[in-house]
Structures are given as structure tokens and as C-alpha cells.
Amino acid sequence: MLLTLFTSFLMGQRLFNQASVPKWPRLTYERSHCSEQMLDALPDAIAMFDSSGMLQGCNRAMRNLLGMPELVNHTNDFLDFFQRLENGLQADLAYLLPGISQAIYRAHHPFYCMHRDGEGERRRALEFHSYAAPAPATATLLMIRDVSAQMQKERDRADCFAVAAHEIRSPLAAISGYIELLQLESTPSAWAGKIYMKLREKVRGVDMLLDDLTRLNRIEYEGVGSREWRTSDLRAVLRLSLRSFNEQRHRICLDLPSHNMWARVDVVPLLVALRNALENALKYSAADTVVTLRLRPGQTGWACIDVLDQGPGIDPLYKDKVFDKFYRLPGQQVQGSGLGLSILRSIVQHHGGRVYFKDHPGAGAHLVMELVLLPSASYIP
């Protein structure tokens, strides 16, 4: 598709540049203009060269990459273009200067460089790809794709599983120790029941960790939930979320508005997020305290779901860190996979929303989830 668009662009450029506009149908000009707009809309940086090595066009992403939004086409040859690229990236691109064959050789292999932009210098990973257009438009297209975010995501994923492996080893070591203890003839039979309880607890912990890892991978890396998007009254969703807390329901106070609050939600993942938020609040709360689950209007077009507890609260230094994978507050000995809040954040972001801990000094923790509301007129029963 990209090659077809490239060929169309070059043919349009050739027709438009070789004659005056009145000599050719207006359709030719409009097609060329449309091709330029489509190329400018692409996120990848693209430059086009004719058979003589002259630069025939750059899209907006390439001009931004070069730091030259005013770059004029048809005036720069291939060598000058790469010298501009080298200056823009502050990297050693000398091996690319002899010809496009080097770019072909580097295709699909990221090239690391420092790039200057409005925020200063930052490390970027770029992939070079080249495409040859068929006759009669003999020319070459160079595409530079920024894969920094993709590679960072892969590094984050590898780090996540490395930490997960460490987290799994600890309970497995404990399970192995308990089994060896049961095998000892000197172990009193009265201890067996307690040891079996500990074994079940450790196995449950590993099972919960694996479930959380699977859920996090599906939502965060595959970018999907249950795909059961529906228009729902958030009040009904919050009521439904309490069903799994029947035994502890006396500790949860549900505060709902009197009017409907409609939103487009992926129901199953959102219920998981609410469960994680409530479980987190309950874990850090004493048995004789109350956890409040509240739904209220936020800023225009937004709904706020508050989860308030009467526990020790969160130091402002850690209120962002607690959403990191496997992060645990210093000095806390609370059981859990360390992934609950990370999953919650991914699900809320999956809904286009925001989640954060609000400052609530000396009065427990105050978690806020913000979701986009539908206008009343948008609801169709």
C-alpha cells in the first residue's frame, strides 16, 4: 500500500512539474495533493529520491526528524540529504552516505542515536527501510521508523517477567521446604495440619500471581480486554462489583448519586479494576473500619469513582510509585502479588481514563478513578 502511494505521488509530481496546470486535468493536481496529504499523515518519516539521487519529497515526519520543517524538495541530492540527517540526529551515519544499499542492509535492524528536540537530547531507536518503485517511476523511497516506544515496551516486558520469576521462586522455595518437613519422620503429626494449610496458602499465592501476570499481559501488551463494550449505568457496575465481597460487605459503604451516569465500558475488566481497588483498601484497613466506594460527577464529561479507607494512608512520595509492577510500600508486610494496582491502572487507561491517589493526610488512602461519561442524549436503550 505504501509503495502504491509512493508511485502515485511520484507520477503526480512528474506530471505536475513537467507542464503547467491548465495543460493537464485538474484531477492530476488533486490526486498529487491528496497523496501529499496522506504521506504527511503517516507517522513514519519518509523521503523519496529519483533515479539520479535527487530528493523528490519528504513528509512532515521526516522534516521534523531532520529538525527542518521548512525543508524544500527538489533541491537536495542524496548525499546532502544524509548529511542533513546526520546533523539532525547527532549520530555516526557515515556508513549510509555511499548509497541506499547500506540502508537496505540495515533494514529491520534498529539504529540507536541521540536526537535533539524541544525537550533536549534523548536516545531513540530507528529502523531504516527502503522500497524501489516499479517502472516507469524508477525511484527509491526511504522510510525511517521510530521504534523507541516499542523497544521500551519489550524491555519493560522482559523486566516484568524477570521480577515475576523472582517472585515465584520465593513461594516455591517455601513449598519445597514444607514438603521436606512433612517427609521427616521426626516431624510431629500434630504439625501436619498447619503445614498443609501453609502449603495451600503458598500455592494460592503462586496461582494468584500467575493469574495477575496473564491478565496484565493481555490488557497492557495485547491492548485488549474482554471486548464486551456496552453502554452501562456506572451505578449498576459498582453494585455488581460488591457481589464478590458478600462476607465483608458490612465493611464497605456504597455511596451512589440519585441520577444515572452512563458510560461506554468494557464491563469484565472494569469489575476487575474495582475489585483490585477494594481489595487494596481492605488489605490496609483494620477490621473495625469502613471502606467507602463512591460514585460522583467529576469535571464536565467525567465520572469519578472514589475508594476511601481509614488505613495508614500513602506518603505523597509513593503515591505514583504504587502503580508500578511489584512495588510494595516500605515497611508494609501485606500479602499480595504486587500487581493489583498496575492492573487497575492499565484497565482504567484502556477505558481512556485516569487513576491516582489524592492527598488525604492523616485520613487513610483516597483512590480516584476517572472515566469518560456519555452525554445523556447519546444513550440508546
Q: Residue 282: enclosing H or E segment and its boundaries?
A: helix 267-283
Q: How many residues does the chain have?
A: 381
Contact yes or no for 371/302 (Cβ under 8 A): yes
What is the distance between the alpha carbons of residues 338 and 323, in angstroms, rounded to a whole number? Answer: 9
Q: Say what the pLDDT of residue 225 is.
A: 53
Alpha helix segments (H runs only) across 42-147: 60-66, 78-89, 100-105
Q: Which residue has the cell 522500497?
A: 131
Q: Which of 11, 4, 44 is nearest to 58 (CA)?
A: 44
DSSP state of 259: S
Q: Residue 213: enclosing H or E segment and its boundaries?
A: helix 189-216
Burial class (CB in 10 A: 0-12, 13-18, 19+), 230: exposed
DSSP helix/strand/coil, 30: helix
DSSP state of 230: E
Query: Superfamily for 229-381?
Result: Histidine kinase-like ATPase, C-terminal domain (3.30.565.10)
What is the distance between the alpha carbons of residues 317 and 298, in angstroms, rounded to a whole number? Answer: 25
Q: Say what the pLDDT of residue 239 is.
A: 93
Low-confidence ranges of the chain (pLDDT < 70): 1-33, 52-53, 66-124, 133-138, 159-160, 163, 166-167, 185, 219-227, 246-250, 331-337, 360-362, 376-381
Contact yes or no for 172/206 (Cβ under 8 A): yes
Q: What are the E-state strand segments in 74-138? A: 111-117, 120-133
Contact yes or no for 71/87 (Cβ under 8 A): no
Q: Say what the pLDDT of residue 113 is.
A: 58
Q: Say what the pLDDT of residue 263 is.
A: 94
Compute how many other C-beta atoms are within 10 angstroms of the C-beta atom of residue 307.
Answer: 23
Q: Rounded to 5 degrees, what angle do the CA atoms 219, 220, 224 make?
A: 35
Compute how many other C-beta atoms are within 10 angstroms of the C-beta atom of residue 368.
Answer: 19
The topology (CATH level 3) of 2-146 is Beta-Lactamase (3.30.450)
Compute how many other C-beta atoms are within 10 angstroms of the C-beta atom of residue 280.
Answer: 22
Take residue 145 and report the three cell numbers written for it. Answer: 521508523
Cis peptide before 381 (omega within 30 of 0): no
- 306 φ/ψ angles, rounded to the nearest 5 degrees: -105, 140
The topology (CATH level 3) of 148-224 is Helix Hairpins (1.10.287)
What is the distance between the alpha carbons of residues 254 and 61, in angstroms, rounded to a whole number? Answer: 50
Q: Say what the pLDDT of residue 112 is.
A: 59
Q: What is the pLDDT of residues 36-50, one digit of tens each?
A: 788 888 888 888 777
Show me where the domains of the chain are located.
2-146, 148-224, 229-381
Q: Say what the pLDDT of residue 296 is.
A: 95
How many whole angstroms from its chain centre is CA 344?
Answer: 13
Burial class (CB in 10 A: 0-12, 13-18, 19+), 201: middle
Take residue 201 and report the three cell numbers written for it. Answer: 496458602
Q: What is the pLDDT of residues 176-187, one digit of tens each?
A: 888 887 787 677
